[in-house]
């Protein structure tokens, strides 16, 4: 709660939180705001935007409602982005904690695996993964997570290594605390904040990767995504640029919102640590 208050006090945090809240509300109420399947043919094809009150943002080549696509696309983008980031953070935390605590050979081994994943460009990895296994939402989530877990793993390990040497951990050992309790009560909660700040950036990257995969036609074909809408509009970019522009704006707003949120979060966490 205190963190939330600190977060809203920074301008970035307040704007980011506002944008994200709006997006989450849109995602939650998309079926209410625009009923029915957004992929169905709803009206005349290539209706320009702001001409027909039934289709405020116009229709695409097949006569699908652009606004409905954008509203429902929010669901895909946010859920895939969040799920992929959550999976990446979860894998990264586990690996980082194990490496940091175990040390020695286990640490060496795990960090070389992390190196391997960091060397391969994450987008190429996702591309290859989806091409081989096939496009569906869970596979896309896993593919993005595979390319993103190395950073949180590294950060978590560094945090654990640094906190392990603090006096309060020594103090916990001195009073005879069990090593497991030291790990989960003394070290883990204090290692988390920077990893959480990083997670917002991972969400933004995951949303962009998902859009890029969809743009290349490797997204789940059964759900509407902003990436696939941009790809769809690309073919007639000169005659109806709005088909690509509107989902593009949605994507930019989302990613900027996530970045601002993460910036505010970092500031709020940083300010806290400076307190005496």
- Footprint of other proteins (CB under 8 A): 166-168, 170-178, 185-186, 189-190, 275-276
* CB of 28 or CB of 170, closer to other proteins: 170
Q: Nearest distance from residue 156's CB to other proteins, in Å?
A: 18
* CB of 170 or CB of 253, closer to other proteins: 170
**Which tokens go with 87?**
């999976």
* CB of 167 or CB of 239, closer to other proteins: 167
Bridge partner list, 13: none
Q: Nearest distance from residue 196's CB to other proteins, in Å?
A: 15
- Give the Cα separation of 119 and 253 in Å (integer): 30
Our measurement of the distance from residue 78's CA atom to the centroid of its chain's CA atoms, rounded to an integer in Å, reads 7
* CB of 103 or CB of 134, closer to other proteins: 103
In the chain, the DSSP E strands lie at none
Q: Nearest distance from residue 181's CB to other proteins, in Å?
A: 8
> Which stretch of DSSP H or E encloses residue 80?
helix 66-102
**Which tokens go with 5?**
């208050």
**Which of left, alpha, beta for 134 (phi over 0: left; psi -120 to 50: alpha)?**
left
Q: Nearest distance from residue 15's CB to other proteins, in Å?
A: 29
Q: Could you give phi then psi for residue 52, rounded to 5 degrees?
A: -115, 120
Q: Nearest distance from residue 166's CB to other proteins, in Å?
A: 6
**Which tokens go with 13?**
């945090």
Q: Nearest distance from residue 185's CB to other proteins, in Å?
A: 8
* CB of 113 or CB of 170, closer to other proteins: 170
Closest CA to 194 of 145, 157, 164, 142: 157
* CB of 132 or CB of 175, closer to other proteins: 175
**Which tokens go with 225?**
């995504």
- Give the Cα separation of 182 and 77 in Å (integer): 38
């Amino acid at each position: 709660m205190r963190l939330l208050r600190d977060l809203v006090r920074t301008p970035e945090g307040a704007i980011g939180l506002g944008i994200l809240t709006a997006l989450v509300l849109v995602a939650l109420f998309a079926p209410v705001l625009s009923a029915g399947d957004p992929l169905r043919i709803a009206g005349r094809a290539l209706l320009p935007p702001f001409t027909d009150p039934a289709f405020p943002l116009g229709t695409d080549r097949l006569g699908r409602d652009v606004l409905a696509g954008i509203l429902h696309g929010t669901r895909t983008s946010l859920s895939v982005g969040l799920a992929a980031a959550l999976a990446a953070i979860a894998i990264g935390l586990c690996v980082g904690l194990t490496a940091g605590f175990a040390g020695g050979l286990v640490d060496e081994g795990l960090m070389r695996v992390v190196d391997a994943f960091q060397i391969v460009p994450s987008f190429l990895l996702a591309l290859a993964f989806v091409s081989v296994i096939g496009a569906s939402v869970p596979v896309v989530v896993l593919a993005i997570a595979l390319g993103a877990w190395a950073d949180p793993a590294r950060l978590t390990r560094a945090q654990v290594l640094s906190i392990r040497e603090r006096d309060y951990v020594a103090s916990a050992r001195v009073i005879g605390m069990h090593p497991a309790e030291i790990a989960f009560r003394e070290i883990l909660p204090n290692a988390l904040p920077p990893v959480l700040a990083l997670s917002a950036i991972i969400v933004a990257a995951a949303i962009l990767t998902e859009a890029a995969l969809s743009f290349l036609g490797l997204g789940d074909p059964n759900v509407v995504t902003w990436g696939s809408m941009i790809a769809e509009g690309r073919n007639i970019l000169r005659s109806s640029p709005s088909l690509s522009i509107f989902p593009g704006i949605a994507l930019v707003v989302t990613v900027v919102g996530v970045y601002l949120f993460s910036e505010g979060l970092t500031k709020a966490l940083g300010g806290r640590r400076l307190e005496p």
